Amino acid sequence: MKNIVLLLFLFTASLGFSQQTDNVDFNTAKAHIVFGDLSKKEVTGTITYEFEILKAVDSVFIDANKVVFSNIVLHGLGVQADVEFHNDSNRLIIYNEFKKDERYELKFDYSTQPKKALYFIDWDTSTALSGTISNKQIWTQGQGKYTSNWLPSIDDMNDKIEFDLTITFDKDYEVIANGKLTNKQINDSTTTWHYDMQKPMSSYLVALAIGKYDKKVEYSNSGIPLEMYYYPEDSLKVEPTYRYTKQMFDFLEEEIGVPYAWQNYKQVPVKDFLYAGMENTSTTIFADSFVIDSIAFVDKNYVNVNAHELAHQWFGDLVTETSGTHHWLQEGFATYYALLAERHIFGDAYYYWQLYDYAQELLEQHKARQGTALLNPKSSSTTFYKKGAWVLHVLREKVGDEAFKKGVKNYLLKHQFKNVETDDFISEVEKASGQDLTNFVNTWLEGSGFLYEDYINPLKAASKEIAQMITLDDMLLVSSDGLDNKINRYWENAMYPRVKAHLFSKEMIAGVNHNILKKALKSNDLKIRQAVALSLSKVPLELKTDYETLLEDQSYITIKAALFGLWNSFPEEQNKYLNQTKDIEGFNDKNIRIIWLALALVSDDYNPENETAYFNELTDYTSPKYGFEIRENAFKYLLWISACAENCKENLEQATKHHNWRFSKFAKAMLKSMQ
């Protein structure tokens, strides 16, 4: 999983739950899912499980949260005609004298209305009636939520099962699930989709996505179909959104040295997703805010999330942690291999800058006294993801490329389709390198300390850009020269655009040195100019002409900042700036359109005849028919101009109950601030 903000989830399987895997091994699940009243989130289905008894037991259970069962049938040695069972509303327990080494088959019908793990988007009539946009979807999020909320299964990730899903649904929709589509049967008003998996996985990786989609298919060098889904209206966004997908797939397969294990690789954007992306086996689901045009690409693209979820197909899906203690084996690896894929695309300098940023985040965490050991299951996402990636970077430097790659490959091959602990990985690297890694493990994995030098010194040695930035930052702090002189010297000595841009991210610089700001605005580097746009909210008159050119930059972040900067600094020319930007939507969250509407409404005499239309459009963006990112922007700007009226308030009330906890938290806080 890849989080946008720091968010910790952990699997805390209790002892009682984790014990069954010692006695019973579930092998296959064949499920047929049918939906009932979608506005009531009704799911029904029939599942057949095959399992093997490892130790004689008198009961076997299946996790099932508030599920109703019927027609339970058990086949196997010594099974009584009437199978005895108990549904305790958390699990279905089957009583029988199960014999060691025997195989059994359990079949049942079920129905439920899941509160989580399966999400129904826009099926309730109030949303459907309120607008013309129809974005009805159903999608899953198993990790951290438990698939057993909609599919009775084994929540313990140590039992890997081959899941074959068959789904019957309205024939106007696409249905996507793990594995290969082997048959599509058209009925009167429905289609039945048969998906086949050939290898087992933990149940948190079971995926289902239903919606209106088209897809583009490419093939990896190894022949794996790469299926890239998109909304029919987004055909022009396919290339920028999925840019580098095939290159990164080919790179990772080569770099990891173990062939991709699944039949195909599908990526599906969905509305109102809980995270940035989720690496369901062969079927990544990701937030549709990453569906972008080529202007958005420069500031906010899907490349990192794409690579991260893809890397998880090996690290997480092929080998899976036994428990949260070893969570870095998934997130640290996915973060590190995503970085390697990006290095392959964007070059070495990019790689080291990312590591530098990760080190800053770890430093902040350390200063806040929140740093923990990597093997602490309660660690933050920063630790699991960023420190995890750093540990792999340092380990590779220590043992060398060859031993590192050999160790990773042997680790994957030895444990594929099974569960892993940190020692499984370390021991393979020790074997491949001939090095004793005890001290390394003590310091980097078990220790909670943080020595900034351990991070920054190797970066200075590896990257001229970072070495230069650190030297110049030190000069700025230490030299007793006047600030203007120091800033001039920084600018003149910075040889790399990233270092020059870094100068303007410093608070002490803002608005101080017009001479340097002018030079920066005259540069044709998008990121330097963006850094200037972001550093000024009031534009000095002598920079006006140069600053105005920012409105033409191919960057939605720059345009938004510049529009506000100019509107705020030169009231007499507000109409000119608004006219210039009236047709720009911005990112998928409409970042520019929404600030534009707010500014148009509060400007003294900008198209007064359109005021109602602007207000209605801005208020409409708070409606549930839009994704939560758009709604959040609209709420913020309506609050900012004190114009959150009746409809806005109604939508805000509704937002407090949204399934995305960050958005509902935002809505609650905003509602409170208005009272």
Q: Enumerate binding residues for Zn ion (CB under 5 A).
A: 1-2, 331, 334
Round to whole Å and give the CA distance between 605 and 627.
31
Q: Give whichever of 391 and 655 is closer to Zn ion, judged by the CB atom.
A: 391
DSSP-assigned letters across all residues of 129-198: HT-S----EEEE--TTT-GGGTS-B---TTS-BEEEEEEEEETTSEEEESSEEEEEEE-SSEEEEEEE-S
Q: Give whichever of 9 and 570 is closer to Zn ion, judged by the CB atom.
A: 9
User: What's the closest the beta carbon of residue 147 comes to Zn ion, in angstroms?
Assistant: 17
DSSP annotation of 386 reads I
- What b-and-e string marks burial along 575-606, b requiring 16 or more CB atoms within 10 Å of the CB? eebbeebeebebbbbbbbbbbbbbbbbebeeb
Q: Give whichever of 334 and 578 is closer to Zn ion, judged by the CB atom.
A: 334
Q: Is the dihedral of CA 125, 131, 132, 138 positive or negative?
A: negative
Q: Give whichever of 25 and 331 is closer to Zn ion, judged by the CB atom.
A: 331
Neighbour order of strands in the sheet with 91-98? 57-63, 91-98, 84-87
**Residues 504, 479 contacting (CB under 8 angstroms):** no
User: What's the closest the beta carbon of residue 338 comes to Zn ion, in angstroms?
Assistant: 9
User: What's the closest the beta carbon of residue 2 comes to Zn ion, in angstroms?
Assistant: 5
User: What's the closest the beta carbon of residue 143 comes to Zn ion, in angstroms?
Assistant: 9
CA–CA distances in Å: residue 446 to residues 3, 372, 379, 429 = 24, 9, 12, 17
- Alpha carbon 222 to chain centroid, angstroms: 26
User: What's the closest the beta carbon of residue 383 comes to Zn ion, in angstroms?
Assistant: 14
Q: Give whichever of 337 and 663 is closer to Zn ion, judged by the CB atom.
A: 337
Backbone phi and psi for residue 120, each to the nearest 5 degrees, phi listed first = -105, 115
- Write the single-letter amino acid at 412: L
User: What's the closest the beta carbon of residue 320 comes to Zn ion, in angstroms?
Assistant: 13
**Residues 567, 600 contacting (CB under 8 angstroms):** no
Q: Give whichever of 1 and 24 is closer to Zn ion, judged by the CB atom.
A: 1
User: What's the closest the beta carbon of residue 307 comes to Zn ion, in angstroms?
Assistant: 11
**Residues 265, 282 contacting (CB under 8 angstroms):** yes
What is the largest distance, in Å, between two alpha-carbon atoms of the chain?
92
Q: Give whichever of 122 and 331 is closer to Zn ion, judged by the CB atom.
A: 331
Q: Give whichever of 419 and 574 is closer to Zn ion, judged by the CB atom.
A: 419
User: What's the closest the beta carbon of residue 384 comes to Zn ion, in angstroms?
Assistant: 9
User: What's the closest the beta carbon of residue 263 comes to Zn ion, in angstroms?
Assistant: 22
Relative to beta strand 283-287, strand 265-270 is: parallel
Six token digits for residue 143: 């990790």
Q: Is the dihedral of CA 176, 118, 192, 171 positive or negative?
A: negative
User: What's the closest the beta carbon of residue 340 comes to Zn ion, in angstroms?
Assistant: 15
**Residues 564, 600 contacting (CB under 8 angstroms):** no
Q: Give whichever of 334 and 472 is closer to Zn ion, judged by the CB atom.
A: 334
DSSP annotation of 234 reads G
Round to whole Å and give the CA distance between 627 and 289.
8
Question: 3-class DSSP state for residue 31?
Answer: strand
Residues 6+ apart with CB under 8 A from 645: 619
Q: Give whichever of 146 and 275 is closer to Zn ion, judged by the CB atom.
A: 275
Q: Give whichever of 203 and 335 is closer to Zn ion, judged by the CB atom.
A: 335
**Residues 121, 139 contacting (CB under 8 angstroms):** yes
Q: Is 436 left (phi over 0), alpha (psi -120 to 50) or beta?
A: beta
Q: Give whichever of 331 and 553 is closer to Zn ion, judged by the CB atom.
A: 331
User: What's the closest the beta carbon of residue 278 comes to Zn ion, in angstroms?
Assistant: 8
Six token digits for residue 151: 């599919």
User: What's the closest the beta carbon of residue 269 comes to Zn ion, in angstroms?
Assistant: 17
CA–CA distances in Å: residue 126 to residues 121, 133, 655 = 12, 13, 13
Q: Give whichever of 166 and 320 is closer to Zn ion, judged by the CB atom.
A: 320
Q: Give whichever of 389 and 531 is closer to Zn ion, judged by the CB atom.
A: 389
User: What's the closest the beta carbon of residue 341 comes to Zn ion, in angstroms?
Assistant: 14
Relative to beta strand 265-270, strand 225-230 is: parallel
67: nearest Cα among 47, 50, 49, 53: 47
Q: Give whichever of 268 and 600 is closer to Zn ion, judged by the CB atom.
A: 268
User: What's the closest the beta carbon of residue 334 comes to Zn ion, in angstroms?
Assistant: 4
User: What's the closest the beta carbon of residue 121 comes to Zn ion, in angstroms?
Assistant: 23
